Amino acid sequence: MTALLAAACAPGAAEEENEQAAPLTTLPAVTTTTTTTTTTTTTLPPRFTLEGTVVTSDGVPLPGAVVVAGEASTVTGADGAFLIEDVPESTVSIGRPAWEPSEVEFDGSPGPLTVTLEPRRVRALRVIGDAAADSETFASLLSMAETSEINALVFDTKDEGGLVHYATEVQEAWDIGAAEPVYDPVALIASARERELYVIARISVFEDPIRAKQRPEHKLAGSWIDPTDPENWEYPLELAVEACRLGFDEVQFDYVRFPAGQTGEAARRRYPTTQAERVAAVVGFLTAAGERLHPEGCAVAADVFGIVMSSPTDQGIGQRPEELSEVVDVLSPMVYPSHYDDGWLGFSEPNDHPAAVVADALDDGMARMGGTALLRPWLQAFSYSSASILAEIDESEQRGLGWMLWNPGSRYSADALPAGDEPESDAESP
């Protein structure tokens, strides 16, 4: 080994050996880099459990209210309670059809929240199909709303004559010849929305002369459809769901009852029913309506005879405030003094005493309401002076209730409407 090392180091030896040896491969220089890794820790916002109760201004639990916190939501139960787990600090939105929405700030503090919702107090005008179709008439109704306390419009979408006044996609309306489009609901709703008006679709249910003629197998008597057959519920319910999707806030079911008078007597002779059976049929329909319309965000309302608010019986038509108010959002008695028999309240002609008749009906009805339904009467706005109409309105206002004015031709006088705030002017004061 020493000789080899000496030979390798001797002068000339390396050159001689390099000439005979294979060439060496020169490796590139290796640079060593020291990398420092920094770990970033992302701190997620804290999450909490949100619980509480939604109540009315009287402290009554309010079921069916939708509570939204961030991306999570739930619906209050029968006791008005709600619980949402794993939510961040956020603005909580609470809403329920027919009630004013509310918002509260949730900062994660422990303990249940109590949220109070106020009822939506509607002051409305009825808009028949012809009025909705006439641009000048409709513009005048909007103008009245701007200068008065009117904050809602009730559109006839399917009237008691069986006609559907818009281009519906419900095939049954076309099959029986009921569809006669005269106005565009989407356009009119947009005009109402610009003025922050609440919009209601009125649908006549069981009085339907067109369907009674075209579908005689579903007929009860005269122009009335049998309310006891759930198959007969589908057509008005399909129209109701469509109304919600068109943009209406509420669906009001009219003629949601059995026939009265001679037609009612004929129906009971042909198909005898008890009061319990009649009420159950009407309640069943309205319950089904709630199941379909509440998920769409619409309130469910029912028109009832004014007399049933004071009568111990259903008057043969299947309407009693105790049962119906448990399954609707709004109950609307048609308190028309002209429809009361002579002698009512001791008056030989009740029609001559509009304020007294309205006051009596509302007092009787308020005492019989169940659940959390709102009482919102229809008031007579025909064959009366402006002073008489205002007197009716005042009785409802004194009781903290909303109201709707019924005129068969949608002809109203600005003098008969409570004045609203003066519209703001863009002009500078002189």
Q: Which ranges constitute the DSSP H helices of 134-233?
A: 135-146, 171-175, 185-194, 209-214
Residue 265 and residue 142 in one domain:
yes
Residue 15: inside a domain: no
For residue 245, give the nearest of 256, 237, 234 by alpha carbon: 237
Residue 154: inside a domain: yes
Residue 302 and residue 404 in one domain:
yes
Residue 39: inside a domain: no
Residue 354 and residue 273 in one domain:
yes
Res 346: pLDDT: 83
Res 11: pLDDT: 40
What is residue 216's three-state secondary structure?
helix
Kindly report, residue by residue over 360-412, the tens digit of the pLDDT. 999 999 999 999 999 999 999 999 999 999 999 999 999 999 999 999 999 99
Residue 204 and residue 301 in one domain:
yes
Q: What are the CB-based long-range contacts (under 8 Å, 24+) for 175-182?
A: 175/214, 176/210, 176/211, 176/214, 176/215, 177/210, 177/214, 178/208, 178/210, 178/211, 182/129, 182/130, 182/132, 182/133
Residue 202 and residue 65 in one domain:
no
Residue 105, domain CATH: 2.60.40.1120
d(CA 33, CA 288): 74
Residue 253: inside a domain: yes
Single out the residue in 69, 98, 116 at which a domain terminates: 116
For residue 58, give the nearest of 404, 402, 400, 403 by alpha carbon: 400
Q: Which helix (H) or strand (E) holds 184?
A: none
Res 222: pLDDT: 96
Residue 286 and residue 404 in one domain:
yes
Residue 176: inside a domain: yes
| Burial (Cβ within 10 Å: 0-12, 13-18, ≥19) of residue 134 | middle
Residue 97 and residue 176 in one domain:
no
Residue 307 and residue 182 in one domain:
yes
Residue 157 and residue 53 in one domain:
no
Tokens found for residue 234:
């589908």
Residue 107 and residue 56 in one domain:
yes
Instruction: Tell me how many domains the chain contains.
Output: 2
Residues paired with residue 48 on neighbouring β-strands, in sequence order: 87
Kindly report, residue by residue over 214-229, the tens digit of the pLDDT. 999 999 999 999 999 9
Kindly report, residue by residue over 408-427, the tens digit of the pLDDT. 999 999 999 999 765 554 44
Residue 198 and residue 257 in one domain:
yes
Instruction: Give the residue numbers spanning the domain of 356.
Output: 123-416
In single-letter form, the type of residue at position 209 comes to P
Residue 376: inside a domain: yes
Residue 227, domain CATH: 3.20.20.80
Which stretch of 130-144, 340-354, 375-389 has the lowest confidence by average pLDDT? 340-354
Residue 194: inside a domain: yes
Residue 240 and residue 276 in one domain:
yes
Single out the residue in 101, 116, 131 at which a domain terminates: 116
Average pLDDT, the chain: 89
Single out the residue in 116, 143, 169 at which a domain terminates: 116
Phi, psi (degrees; rounded to nearest 5) at 97:
-55, 135
Residue 3: inside a domain: no
